[in-house]
Structures are given as C-alpha cells and as structure tokens.
C-alpha cells in the first residue's frame, strides 16, 4: 500500500484542505457508535504504545494505568501481515492514495492515484504511516468497512473511520507500534 505526496514519494501523504470533521461526517452520520472499548491490560505496558494482536484482529492503545483502548482492525492477508516493532512516522488527514504494484496486480482497474475524500479511497478519514515500507494504520472506505475484524489487507492495519480519528488524536509521531501474533 502506498500513500502519495505531491512529489510522488510512496509512504508519504498528499495533504488536502479537507478538514478531519468533513472527512468523516458521512460515516459518523451512518454509524454513530464507536467500536472502541476501554479494557484492562497488564500494568507493565507503558503509556502511549500501540499493540496489534493479529490473532484477535484488535489494536490496543495503552494508557499506562492498567488500561488500554481496544479497537477492531483488519490485518494483512495470509503472507501479507507483518510482525515486529516500528513507530509512527507520519500523521495525515484524508490522504490521497496510490496503489502499489502488489495491489495493482490483483486490481489492474485501479487508477494511479485515488483522490483524498473519494468514496473509493481505502485510506479513509486518516492515516498513520509506519516506519515500514508501504504500511499504515488507516481508516477505510464504506465499501471495505465490513472487512474490519478480518485478515483482508495487503499489510496495512485497517480501522473504522471513527476509530482511526480517535486514535489519530491520541498518538504522536514516534509512538511505538508492536505487532504480535
């Protein structure tokens, strides 16, 4: 998965004047209830860490007081999911998206760039790029919304738009991210 900026670099984002609220109004109107939950976690997890538990199809953002906010996510398909440690490298609102070669191979009908805010843009309301090649934690399009909770992506972590907006506001560049089985 690639995100494109105005000079075409992958894993960068083209920022737009589209506001965060405007990017999610339609989704929030259709689905007003957040899927996130506050849950207990071992107090040994430091505050401000993202843990992706692939077997659960859940992302946890630790608060440091023995709790975390848990969000349902889609993870990478078999052979596409990543494991290990990284960190958030960038934060972007409603980015444009350029499908990488691996996606174009399976979906040759896709255009070279899908504009910010377009109904078929899989980045959704926001994207948190990771210090990995072509991987982000991002929202979703209305068409792909039902994939959250499954292994459906090409390696990215897909969230409901309302949840990625919530997480976006809680994290900063440099936030550690760990993906475990």
**Residues marked as catalytic:** 138, 156
d(CA 54, CA 113): 29
Let me know: does 144 contact 19? Beta carbons within 8 Å: no
DSSP state of 21: H
Let me know: does 128 contact 147? Beta carbons within 8 Å: no
Tell me how far apart the terminal alpha carbons of the chain are, to the nearest angstrom.
21
d(CA 147, CA 74): 6
């Amino acid at each position: 998965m690639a995100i494109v900026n105005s000079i075409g670099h992958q894993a960068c984002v083209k920022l737009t004047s589209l506001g965060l609220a405007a990017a999610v109004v339609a989704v929030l109107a259709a689905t007003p209830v957040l899927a996130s939950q506050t849950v207990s976690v071992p107090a040994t997890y430091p505050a401000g860490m993202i843990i992706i538990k692939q077997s659960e199809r859940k992302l946890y953002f630790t608060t440091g007081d023995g709790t975390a906010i848990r969000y349902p996510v889609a993870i990478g398909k078999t052979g596409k999911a990543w494991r290990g440690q990284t960190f958030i490298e960038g934060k972007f609102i409603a980015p444009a998206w350029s499908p990488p070669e691996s996606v174009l191979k399976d979906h040759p009908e896709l255009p070279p760039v899908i504009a910010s805010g377009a109904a078929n843009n899989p980045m959704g309301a926001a994207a948190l790029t990771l210090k990995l090649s072509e991987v982000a934690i991002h929202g979703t399009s209305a068409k792909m919304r039902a994939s959250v909770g499954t292994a459906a992506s090409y390696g990215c972590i897909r969230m409901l738009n309302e949840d990625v907006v919530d997480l976006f506001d809680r994290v900063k560049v440099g936030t550690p991210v760990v993906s475990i089985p």
